[in-house]
Structure formats: C-alpha cells, structure tokens
Structure 1
Amino acid sequence: MQNKGLAKSNRQKIASGFDYKSFELPCDTGKGTALFVYKAWGKKANLICYFDVNGRKIKLSAWQRNDYGPEDSFGSLSNPVDRE
C-alpha cells in the first residue's frame, strides 16, 4: 500500500488498515535500495516516512520546525548529501 499526495493523519493511518506496527526504527547503519511506502503525521508535529529497504521495513521521523531529524555522515533528511 503506497499512499500518494499529502501525508495522512494518525487517525487516517490507523483507519486505512496500513500495517504500520510491522515497521521498526533502525538503530544500525548500512546501504540499500529503499522503496517509499507510506507517510503520516506523528503526534509531535513530525512526519513519519515508512520504507522497504531490501525487504526490511523501517520508519524514519523528521521534524521541520527546528530542523531536527536523523543524521549521519551523508546528511539529514532536511539537508541530504549526494552519496555518489
């Protein structure tokens, strides 16, 4: 199930039947090809994006208000860096 357009609210996400509980927050690093699956607003003004990375289901959060989000040596979601 891939949602297109605007991010869904938390209630819409639950009502849609999307299996969001099967996605994990990654605590490791690595490389892979990610397929964007779904996006929904979190409870803290954050955007939660769900991905399938080589069969592994992960979710990442990003906050726009203070430019906070996951970051590694390749940059953050708000300021990505080209890896090539």
Structure 2
Amino acid sequence: MHDKILREDVEKLIEKLEPQIEEIEPQTAEAEEYYSNMKAYIEDSKHFMEKGDLVRAFEAIIWAWAFFEICHDLKMF
C-alpha cells in the first residue's frame, strides 16, 4: 500500500516538473549546470522507479524540485 502511494507521488512530481523544466533556457554557465543537474535528478528518479527503489526515486525528484525552486527564487532562469 505504501509503495503504491509513494510511486504515485513520485510520478505526480515528475509530471509536474518536467514541463516546467522544458521551458527553461539557461542564460549562464551556472544556470546551465543547475539545469543539467535538475534533468539528471529527474532521470535518476525514473531509473530508481524502474528498479523499484521508491525511496531513492522520491529523494531524486525532491532534489530536482529543490534545484528548480532555488534557481527560480534566485531568478537564474
């Protein structure tokens, strides 16, 4: 039961973040680095989901969201 809920939560977070990430156009090398990290964490999250490691999948998507929020707040994108 908990696995199903966690999987659904991770899937929702990925579905919400991916379209926002695709709209980003990094303007600096620093912004490009954060952008690359966000995309990598999303891919890591998907990889962990496929392997059934839902805790790591959740952790990875949370890191992607954290980078996104920080960059947004600092107006890096």
Q: TM-score range by the shorter chain?
A: under 0.3
Which one has a larger percent helix, Structure 1 or Structure 2? 2
TM-score, structure 1 normalization = 0.26
Which one has a larger percent strand, Structure 1 or Structure 2? 1
Larger relative contact order (Cα-Cα within 8 Å, sequence gap ≥ 6) = 2
